[in-house]
Amino acid sequence: MRLGNFQLTRIFGIPLIIDYSWPPVVLLHIWLLTQFWLPVRIRPAWPLWLNLLVAATITALFFASVLAHELAHSLIARLEGIRIHDIQLHIFGGWARLVTEPKTAMAEFRVAIAGPASSFILSLLFTFGLLLLQQIGSHAAVSLAALETFYYLAAANIFLAMFNLLPGLPLDGGRALRALLWHYRGDILSATRTTKRMGVGIAYMLISYGLFLIVYGMYRGTMWQDFLLAVWLLVIGVFLKNAAENDYRHKERQSAAQTAQWQKLKQFDIEGTVGSVMSAPPVSIEPDLPVTEFIDSILPVHRLATFPVAREGRLHGIFSLSRLREIPKEKWDKLKVGDIMETVDDQFFINVKASLGHAGLKLKENGLGFLAVLDPEGFLVGSLTERELGADKPHHFGE
């Protein structure tokens, strides 16, 4: 039987996915705490069952901290109008997967910095709890267990924040640095190239240190003492290197696609036609988008009255706020965009090469004052309202 991912629950409407590689890491973490951390820290030694209980508690709170880190990314992304696919817990910790990417440099900066900020806050909270327990000064087993738990989690969260702030992709620090470089250079591909190189450099340093631990351990005959750490550094280093390079390749393909789209739209910039005044690219939504997510994530960022509904560039319908207002609010959480949208009809779309006079007539007749603009192959390339039709300056992709 092939192992796969499974959904554990939803948090703030975001699916929490458990990767098959995560449970072994949880068990390894409990074992390391039981066999090495707690026996060194606690004198006189606790019985095995108590070590296991405390180790399991620390592990649960540690991965809850990892989840809080990823949840911070997700909630800030949602405030920026970005849809969240899910949060995954896996062998390397966690990962918040976004459906779309931040539209601006500062939006990416805010999303990137949210995770480390949450880890810093958690570290402060656990430090405060640790100091409070130290003031109480009890030597009971429960108090000692709480002290060790707070101490470990304060240290773990500060380490999680600091490691993620290293200035190289795919780490949060690399994404924050890319956002700043993007903001000042105005070129996301150039910013990605710089932070990719820094990420690869960090990866090679981790790999080098892992190899050093193995060679030095072999020389001293103590390789077993640092073997797990050495292997972990090698694995993390390879993962970071591949992730940084994949991120850059993704941005290269994305940049090439945007350039091709801009060139395609330029050919439609013919005076007297819809292509010369349309808004492009359009702000489209998918038919399976929940209405509540649309209201929480899309509408605060794009204050429009009407949206084309499309999937993979093909028009499925038109979604209007006026239609949504006709439906009682208590029903919104059970509906998707496709349940409310106006289905595709000739009155709601127009060819990009159509005349402005023809567009004006359709805008007045369809009752929405909105038209989806399609290219000759039927792909959605823009949108048109009476505002654009009466504007002096066209709105084109890349301008």
Q: Does 396 score more than 70 pLDDT? A: no
> Is residue 203, in this structure, part of any structural domain at all?
no
Q: What is the pLDDT of residues 302-319, one digit of tens each?
A: 888 999 999 988 999 999
* Residue 157, domain member (yes or no): yes
Residue 315 has a CB neighbour count (10 Å cut-off) of 20
Residue at 224 is within a domain: no
Segments forming the whole domain that contains residue 328: 267-389
Q: Which residues contact 226 (CB under 8 A, 6 or more apart)?
A: 213, 214, 217
Q: Does residue 395 have a pLDDT over 70?
A: no
Burial of 258 (0-12, 13-18, 19+ CB in 10 A): middle
Residue 181 lies in a domain: no
Residues 146 and 287 in one domain: no
Per-residue confidence (pLDDT) for residue 223, from 0 to 100: 66
Q: What is the pLDDT of residues 90-130, one digit of tens each?
A: 988 899 999 888 889 999 999 999 999 999 999 999 999 99
Per-chain mean pLDDT for the chain: 89
Residue 62 counted as domain residue? yes
pLDDT, average across residues 363-369: 87
Which CATH number covers residue 327? 3.10.580.10
How much is the pLDDT for 87? 95
User: 115, 148, 165: which is the final residue of a domain?
Assistant: 165
> Which of 65-74, 305-314, 365-374: highest mean pLDDT?
65-74
pLDDT per residue over 41-64, tens digit each?
888 888 999 999 999 999 999 999
**Same domain as 147, residue 16:** yes
Q: Is residue 384 situated within a structural domain? A: yes
Q: What is the largest CA-CA distance in the chain?
A: 89
Residue 47 lies in a domain: yes
**In sequence order, what DSSP letters do the residues of 321-365 get, joined into one string?**
HHHHHTS-GGGGGG-BHHHHSEEP-GGGEEETTSBHHHHHHHHHH
Beta bridge partners of 89: 18, 94
One-character DSSP codes across 241-261 = HHHHHHHHHHHHHHHHHHHHH
State whether 26 and 158 are in the same domain: yes
Measured distance CA(325)–CA(299) in Å, rounded: 14
> How many structural domains does the chain have?
2
Closest CA to 70 of 58, 86, 53, 87: 87
13 and 152 share one domain: yes
- pLDDT tens digit sequence for 186-222: 999 999 999 999 999 999 999 999 999 888 888 777 6
From 134, 165, 196, the end of a domain falls on 165
Of 144, 165, 186, which marks where a domain is finished?
Answer: 165
User: Could you tell me which residue, 281 or 48, shows the higher pLDDT?
Assistant: 48
Residue 254 domain-assigned?
no
